[in-house]
Chains A and B, each alone.
Chain A
Amino acid sequence: MSALTNRIRALRFAHGEMSQGELGQRIGVTRQTIAAIEAGKYSPSLEAAFRIAHVFGVPLDEVFQWDPAADGRAHPGL
């Protein structure tokens, strides 16, 4: 399981059923990249992540969540 999850799909639907293509156009990536991010297969750059949050008008941690328990590289003490 990926340590990074996201709520992009839910947020798109909450924002007038915005399509992946439209979101991609607004942040400067392709529809396929949005699909990959949504599926948790691709982790976007910090800039792209902030742009997505900006489009939805929410803080970054409402779009992306990180689970330290699922991240094998995270130090337990951190």
Chain B
Amino acid sequence: MPFKEKFAWLSLAALAVAYVPYFWVAGSGMYDAEPAPNFPLLILLAAVSALRCAILGGGWLILRARAPEDARMPPDERDIAISRRAMTSGYYMLTAGLILVGGIMPFTETAWKIVNTAIFMLVISEAVVHGVTVASYRRQA
């Protein structure tokens, strides 16, 4: 398995480990009554973001130590094509999220719901990027 595919798997895992608990807590509504700026959710968001960075950083070091030559290899034309395809898919998801969060929700929803939806759309867009990357490497496309 190429290093870039391994890192895409790691990125997907880091997203799941960090943000599934966050959205579970945010979606449960247990902190909805907190006054602005809602410190419990802010602290939780900072903690899961730090956890994600730690997983990515630690994972990158481990993957690099296990396959140093593969990790050093610059992206070739197929890697670049896969990356371009993944970024394009993520861009469309992000655009849909932007329309939802910036164009529709401000008229109907509360501030933290808008913030959490924006974060959710960012996470989904990233998941799409890494998902398309993994799928492309799996299909050898």
Interface residues of B in 63-103 (CB under 8 A from A): 73, 76-79, 81
State in angstroms the CA–CA spacing of A29 and B73 once bound together: 9
Main secondary structure, interface of A, reads loop
Query: How many residues in B have their beta carbons less than 8 Å from beta carbons of A?
Result: 11
State in angstroms the CA–CA spacing of A30 and B139 once bound together: 16
State in angstroms the CA–CA spacing of A52 and B83 once bound together: 23
Chain A contacts of B140 at CB under 8 A?
A: 32, 35-36, 39, 41-42
Chain A contacts of B30 at CB under 8 A?
A: none
Contacting pair A42 B76 (CB below 8 A): no
Main secondary structure, interface of B, reads loop
Query: Is A33 interfacial (CB-CB < 8 Å)?
Result: yes
State in angstroms the CA–CA spacing of A39 and B79 once bound together: 17
Taking the nearest CB of chain A, how far is it from the CB of B136, in angstroms?
10
Contacting pair B77 A33 (CB below 8 A): yes
- CB pairs A–B below 8 angstroms (5 shown): A29-B76, A30-B76, A33-B76, A42-B78, A45-B77
Contacting pair A41 B141 (CB below 8 A): yes
Chain A contacts of B79 at CB under 8 A?
A: 30, 33
Query: Is B35 interfacial (CB-CB < 8 Å)?
Result: no
Interface contacts beyond A32-B137, A42-B141: sample of 5 additional A-B pairs, CB < 8 Å, sorted by A: A29-B76, A29-B77, A29-B78, A30-B73, A33-B79
Question: Which residues of A are interface residues toward B (Cβ below 8 A)?
Answer: 28-30, 32-33, 35-36, 39, 41-42, 44-45, 48
Chain B contacts of A39 at CB under 8 A?
A: 140
Contacting pair B139 A32 (CB below 8 A): no
Chain B contacts of A32 at CB under 8 A?
A: 2, 78, 137, 140
State in angstroms the CA–CA spacing of A47 and B124 once bound together: 36
Taking the nearest CB of chain B, how far is it from the CB of A34, in angstroms?
10
Taking the nearest CB of chain A, how far is it from the CB of B44, in angstroms?
39
Chain B contacts of A35 at CB under 8 A?
A: 140
Question: Would you give the 0/1 interface string for B42-78, flagging 1 where the beta carbon is closer than 8 Å to chain A?
Answer: 0000000000000000000000000000000100111
